[in-house]
Amino acid sequence: MSATFQLDGEDIPFTPGQTIMQAAKAAGVYIPHLCWHPDFPAHGSCKLCTVKLIDAHGGRFGSSCTMEAQAGMSIENRTAELDDKRRTLLQMFFVEGNHFCPSCEKSGNCVLQATAYELKMMSPHFDMFYPDRPVDASHPDVLLDFNRCIMCSLCVTASRDVDRKNVFAMGGRGILGRKIHINSESGRLADTDFAVTDRAANICPVGVILTKRKGFAVPIGERRYDKAPISEQVKEPTA
In angstroms, the CA 180 to CA 77 distance is 31
Binding residues among 47-76 for ligand FES as defined by CB under 6 A: 47-49, 63, 65
Q: Is 101 exposed, middle or buried (0-12, 13-18, 19+ CB in 10 A)?
A: middle
Q: Which of 34, 200, 201, 203 binds ligand FES (CB under 6 A)?
A: 34
Q: How far is the CB of 212 from ligand FES (least distance, A)?
A: 29
Stretch that binds ligand SF4, among 38-46, 49-57, 101-109, 183-191 (CB under 6 A): 101-109
Q: For residues 26 and 179, which CB has a smaller minimum distance to ligand SF4 in the complex?
A: 179
The residues facing 214 across adjacent strands are: none
Q: Does 89 participate in binding ligand SF4 (rule CB under 6 A)?
A: no
Comparing CA positions, the residue from 201, 139, 137, 130 lying closest to residue 165 is 201
Output the DSSP codes for 209-229: EEETT-TT-SPTTSSHHHHS-
Q: Does 13 participate in binding ligand FES (rule CB under 6 A)?
A: no
Q: For residues 109 and 115, which CB has a smaller minimum distance to ligand FES in the complex?
A: 115
* Residues at the interface with another protein (CB under 8 A): 87, 94, 98-104, 107-108, 113, 116-117, 120-125, 127-128, 130-133, 220, 226, 228-229
Q: For residues 12 and 151, which CB has a smaller minimum distance to ligand SF4 in the complex?
A: 151
Q: Which of 20, 31, 65, 149 binds ligand SF4 (CB under 6 A)?
A: 149
Q: For residues 120 and 164, which CB has a smaller minimum distance to another protein in the complex?
A: 120
In angstroms, the CA 27 to CA 102 distance is 34
Q: How far is the CB of 173 from another protein (least distance, A)?
A: 20
Q: Does 180 participate in binding ligand SF4 (rule CB under 6 A)?
A: yes
Q: Which of 24, 46, 67, 110 binds ligand SF4 (CB under 6 A)?
A: 110
Q: Does 101 participate in binding ligand SF4 (rule CB under 6 A)?
A: yes
Q: Which residues contact 166 (CB under 8 A, 6 or more apart)?
A: 159, 160, 183
Q: Which residues contact 233 (CB under 8 A, 6 or more apart)?
A: 224, 225
Q: For residues 25 and 148, which CB has a smaller minimum distance to ligand SF4 in the complex?
A: 148
| Residue 154 · residue 73 · CB < 8 Å | no
Task: Please work out, in degrees rounded to the nearest 5, the angle formed at the alpha carbon of residue 176 by the alpha carbons of 187 and 124.
Answer: 125
Parallel, antiparallel, or unpaired for β 209-211 and 142-145?
A: antiparallel
| Residue 100 · residue 133 · CB < 8 Å | no
Binding site for ligand FES (CB under 6 A): 33-36, 44-49, 63, 65
